[in-house]
Structure 1
Amino acid sequence: MTFVAKLQALRTLMAEQKIDAYIITAADPHISEYLPAHYKAIPFFSGFTGSAGTLVITKDFAGLWTDSRYFTQAEPQLQGSGYELVKLKVPHTPEYIEWLSEVMPENATVAFNYQLISVALALEIQAGLEKQHIQIVDADLIGPLWSDRPALPTEKAFLIAEKDAGLSISAKLEQVKAQLKTVGAQSHLISSLDDIAWLFNIRGKDVDYNPVALSFALITLQEAKLFIDAAKLADNDINTLKQQGVTLYPYAAINDALKELPSDSAVFIDFKRNCFGLYQLLPATIKVISGINPSTHLKSLKNETEINHIRKAMVQDGVAMTRFFKWMEERLGEEQITEWSAAEKLAAFRAEQPGFAGLSFNTIAGFNANGALPHYSVSLESSLEIQPEGLFLVDSGGQYLYGTTDITRVMPMSNYSAQQADDYTLVLKGLIEGSKLVFPEGTKGYQIDSICRKPLWEHSINFGHGTGHGIGFFLNVHEGPQNISPANVDVPFKPGMVTSIEPGIYRPGSHGVRIENLVLCVNHGSSVFGNFLSFETLTLCYIDTRIVNKALLEAGQLSWLNAYNNRVFDQLQPHLSAEEASWLKAKCQPI
């Protein structure tokens, strides 16, 4: 079926079920960022492959709501599909709710699959439409039309050893139960796969880039129930879970378990990380307490074992990055190198490293104009050949058995413009200012964000994405609860949090610059004014200085840059060949 035929089939089902508008979200029952193929309904119906977007279909309009990261990508992908691109004014907001309230008549019916939408979003839709007396209903119109739909993944999962996790499963469960007692809850539903992976020291391969396994968890003050296909686990892992106080149930048994919760009890639920379908199964009289999953806070504070492993992963990743850029420099001009082949070569260098378990996200490899697309997705068909003029941006990362990495570097070609050099230097200034920041205990991400942006703002330049996100320990590359962005996220930075710092400048049709390191929040010291924190830079990969406009750097920024590159060489040199070390030493010379 063509996309237009699928759209017509959707409208036929809508008419049969008396549905006036149908919403398709980019989600699964776990409200994951990256989805198993079984749940990738938006590309199936529209052709749009970006990770953030929502389809809304009425009898006479079909639109994709997405943000500026995907405007350039969405327009050609939607061409001829029957869907129009609707540009979000504010990223990550459901602006289609207001649109529906304006175009839908009173007493209309709006439907979506309750299993594929968060509690928070479903309640927001409900509240936004009730003034028009618009009814929302549960309807799965995806399954009946997707005849060759991929099955749910059945990949094997495994437990990581307690010595590698730094904390036993039972100890983590006790931490969660203690927080349940604090809020007065007798049970806690967890659907988010990375929270479950951290809590039960379990890793899997059910979702691309995220080492997680499809599962649910229900924690009570007396027991811990893990809902997972037991065939995924080896017998010794099942025995370990039982010894740690975990009872296994089939994946689908979560439905009955929720219905059977005591009606006079209280359950703790993260409305943003559980689906509306499970929420609807709770007994009507049960008390619901909402908030961020306790495990989300707990796993953000990396323990010493995790931190030491992460440092090891950074060395391995730095070796791979060094070999990649050396290869690029030596082979460019000697052979054809495209965005696609460069990304493949980088993945191959990472795969040679001990403990490599896969990429942490789809590599962004953008030459010149493609570098101006923050979430550019290269394909073999669209890949540009890299020429010796301009800038090549590479945002990539690896999953290792002992850590997760995420790094962005920009490689200048032999010819570049003065504007490109200035943009590169201003972005570098933003990275440096954030990296060397000392700040009081209690500081939030939005306060740090403005400091990173200040060097750009001084030149009337800004960028449309956040400056940083949390990183998991051999887990999701995007992790909360902390971030660095203009959004007023009420989460203070604490020692043990690992976060990216990644300012950027994007000039559509010309070039993009983003430089990204991962940093660890650490104690800096105390004074009569209180406790202070700072960042330890974890990422180990040289920052190219050939393109730096020294006139734009202050003395302290130049000192930081030279010291950083010197540290990169000192830590990577023992793991490189003599030829590789000599090449890197030249790259790390002070300027």
Structure 2
Amino acid sequence: MTDAPTRLRALRQILREDNVDGFILPRGDEHLGEYVAPCAERLAWLTDFTGSAGMATVLMDRAAVFSDGRYTTQMEHQVDGLCWERLHLRETPPAQWLAQHAAGARIGYDPRLLSENALLPFIQAGLTLVALVRNPVDAIWTDRPEPPRTPCLEQPLEYSGIDSLTKRQTLAAQLRKSGEACVVLSDPASIAWLLNIRGNDVPYTPLSLCFAIVNADASVSLFIDPVKLTPRTREWLGEDVRVFTPDDLPAQLAAQAGQRVQIDPAANSVWFIQTLEQAGATVIRATDPCLLPKAIKNQVEQQGARHAHEQDAIAICRFLHWLDTEGVGTGELEAAQRLDAFRKGSQDYREESFPAISGSGPNGAIIHYRVTAETDRILRHNEVYLIDSGGQYPYGTTDITRTVWTGPEQPDDDVCDAFTRVLRGHIALARAHFPHGTTGHALDALARQALWEGGLDYDHGTGHGIGSYLSVHEGPCNISTNYRPVPLEAGMIISNEPGYYRPGAFGIRLENLLLVQPAITPAVTTGATRRFLAFEVLTLAPFDRRLIAVDMLNTTEIAWLDAYHARVFEQVAPHLDKVGQTWLQAACAPLSAR
């Protein structure tokens, strides 16, 4: 990799050749995914920023990198401030920045990397946009890695719960009802769910990169590198799934001339819409029809999630025991590697579900901190350590965060105050009962209320959906200050992760995964008819009692925490050795035993 000024000069030369004055580069690939193959890490190659959300804008005399609150500190460390402005996505949106600095300029973009929805703010800003035939970064990235070609594998019914034909028939019936000939899918996670397949093309998420056209007769045109398909997988897919190469996409889209074609303007690149409309198809914009049924786990998937969390809990508790007895003096990187090694103790463990966030002291205040050999910090006595990690198992995906005190001295009161406020918010959300039809936005304040009472808050969402041996960050539901019109449904799995971050000092986040279930408690009002939902806690690991200011908790909160810890001990202790059991018993002791 060359230095930042050299890369920018080379890019600007390509932009001149393509007769544009600037360029918009999102973080993402042709599938608009969160985690991408090395060949699609264009933003990281150009800017050195490795966060999973961001964008760059390049003009001839200035350039900027944008990301959200999770990554603002990381940008300061990674991105050359002499070449790039480093800006917050919400405080200074890229379209606003371009409108201010590039009025009247021709701004290029790669139509395969931006959705129609993502492009809309730039159109609304009055910018002159030019769809480029070639990606200018690809033109100068001389040592760009080859696309992945890992095997595409079947996801058996013992894990998926519903066969692909049934899923396709349900989707096809919806298409026929709305009068559409087909739907185009670009999200490999949707295709993986629909066809019951998995892969290893991108890190942390078991996906096989591909596109699909699902027809109203339940047949599918699958666009995938044929080398990925073994004879067994071809047989698994069945005769109704016809295989094409990705290069066949333009011709197959052109064949939809005169047809009504459904496409999600947020989940597909604008190239698909442009190509279909140029071919004479009528584009029907609608949400990816796989998103909601994929998010609502069936009974087999729910049981798989419970099993995955039981397996994960054994590794987490062994890690927390190690951390408590031997962790001080090791580095953040080694600690993350130790946790991964504990997970590998399960023969079903496949890989991490995202890069572990292992941050001690001030590094814990970097919300999505990623430890490297250069930033690795030694864990010291008497400080806060945050570990956020997850695992992929063939029957489920996990994500957990614990914040611990390294002792041996007692933590300061202000640390315990912040930790306990985060814990109170976590408990409030976990205990919530809410009517059917409630969105996550309506629940978000429950997790923040105790922090707000102390004048504190956090700059990230409270909860995101979780896939079933798929993406650790899955839509369409969330719990956030940002409104999404998707109500929580029984069967959805969502995270509960309030936090607090004091720059230069420490970070606190406490995360469990929750399974939405019908509420089983009786209605408090006689004659109540509305259906209510509640949460089943899937994650099993103790919260650090040393950081809890017990006098800040009410009796209901204490009862919840004691019951949770009793459950953790009951389910995990039998899988630990005697020393580990003794440690876990102390870690899960009732708060009244302090």
Question: Same fold by TM (over 0.5)?
Answer: yes
Partner of 1:137: 131
Is the aligned partner of 1:532 residue 2:532?
Answer: yes
User: How much does 1:86 deviate?
Assistant: 2.1
Partner of 2:565: 565
1:405-448, Cα deviation, whole Å (9 max, x unpaired)? 00000111213211111111110000100001111111110111
Describe the SS at the equivalent of 2:429: helix
Is the aligned partner of 1:359 residue 2:352?
Answer: yes
CA distance in structure 2 between the aligned counterparts of 1:135 and 1:210, rounded to whole angstroms: 33
Q: Percent identity?
A: 35
Describe the SS at the equivalent of 2:72: helix
User: How much does 1:128 deviate?
Assistant: 2.4
Matched residue type, 1:511: F
User: How much does 1:510 deviate?
Assistant: 0.8
Is the aligned partner of 1:491 residue 2:497?
Answer: no
1:380-413, Cα deviation, whole Å (9 max, x unpaired)? 2211100111110000000011110000001112
Is the aligned partner of 1:228 residue 2:224?
Answer: yes
1:332-353, Cα deviation, whole Å (9 max, x unpaired)? 35xx311111000001001111
Q: Name the CA shift for 1:483/1:115 in 2 (closer, same or farther; >3 Å).
A: same
CA distance in structure 1 between the aligned counterparts of 2:234 and 2:247, rounded to whole angstroms: 18
Partner of 2:262: 268
CA distance in structure 1 between the aligned counterparts of 2:211 and 2:424, rounded to whole angstroms: 43
1:204-261, Cα deviation, whole Å (9 max, x unpaired)? 1101101000100101112211111222122122112115x32222232222211111
CA distance in structure 2 between the aligned counterparts of 1:135 and 1:388, rounded to whole angstroms: 55
User: How much does 1:81 deviate?
Assistant: 6.1
Moved more, 567-576 or 503-512: 567-576
CA RMSD of aligned residues (A): 1.5
CA contact (8 A) 1:97 1:129 kept: no
Matched residue type, 1:56: T
Is the aligned partner of 1:475 residue 2:470?
Answer: yes
CA distance in structure 2 between the aligned counterparts of 1:325 and 1:585, rounded to whole angstroms: 13
CA distance in structure 2 between the aligned counterparts of 1:104 and 1:544, rounded to whole angstroms: 52
Matched residue type, 1:79: D
Partner of 1:75: 76
Moved more, 322-331 or 178-187: 178-187
Moved more, 50-59 or 404-413: 50-59
CA contact (8 A) 1:332 1:388 kept: no
CA contact (8 A) 2:327 2:335 kept: no
CA contact (8 A) 1:46 1:81 kept: no
Matched residue type, 2:344: A
CA contact (8 A) 1:316 1:354 kept: no
Matched residue type, 2:101: V
Q: 1:174 aligns with which of 166, 169, 177?
A: 169
Partner of 1:279: 273
Matched residue type, 1:27: G
CA distance in structure 2 between the aligned counterparts of 1:105 and 1:387, rounded to whole angstroms: 52
Alignment of 1:212-361 (within 5 A): 212-222=207-217, 223-243=219-239, 245-261=240-256, 263-284=257-278, 285-333=280-328, 336-361=329-354
CA contact (8 A) 2:152 2:233 kept: no
User: How much does 1:486 deviate?
Assistant: 0.8
Describe the SS at the equivalent of 1:14: helix
CA distance in structure 2 between the aligned counterparts of 1:80 and 1:418, rounded to whole angstroms: 37
CA distance in structure 2 between the aligned counterparts of 1:82 and 1:15, rounded to whole angstroms: 19
Is the aligned partner of 1:411 residue 2:407?
Answer: no
Q: 2:366 aligns with which of 373, 385, 405?
A: 373
Note the residue ranges of structure 2 that are not aligned, 5 or more in a row: none
CA distance in structure 1 between the aligned counterparts of 2:252 and 2:365, rounded to whole angstroms: 48
CA distance in structure 1 between the aligned counterparts of 2:564 and 2:519, rounded to whole angstroms: 19
CA contact (8 A) 2:500 2:507 kept: yes
TM-score under structure 2 length normalisation: 0.95
TM-score under structure 1 length normalisation: 0.96
Matched residue type, 1:367: S
CA contact (8 A) 2:69 2:460 kept: no
Partner of 1:388: 381
Matched residue type, 2:94: Y
Describe the SS at the equivalent of 1:280: helix
Equivalent pairs counted in the alignment come to 580
Q: Name the CA shift for 1:183/1:456 in 2 (closer, same or farther; >3 Å).
A: farther
1:510-558, Cα deviation, whole Å (9 max, x unpaired)? 1111000000000014652411100000001111212210111011011
Is the aligned partner of 1:520 residue 2:515?
Answer: yes
Q: 2:98 aligns with which of 100, 105, 114?
A: 100
CA contact (8 A) 2:461 2:480 kept: yes
CA contact (8 A) 1:4 1:80 kept: no
Write out the 4+ residue segments of structure 1 that deviate beyond 3 Å after TM superposition: none
User: How much does 1:16 deviate?
Assistant: 2.4
Matched residue type, 2:12: R
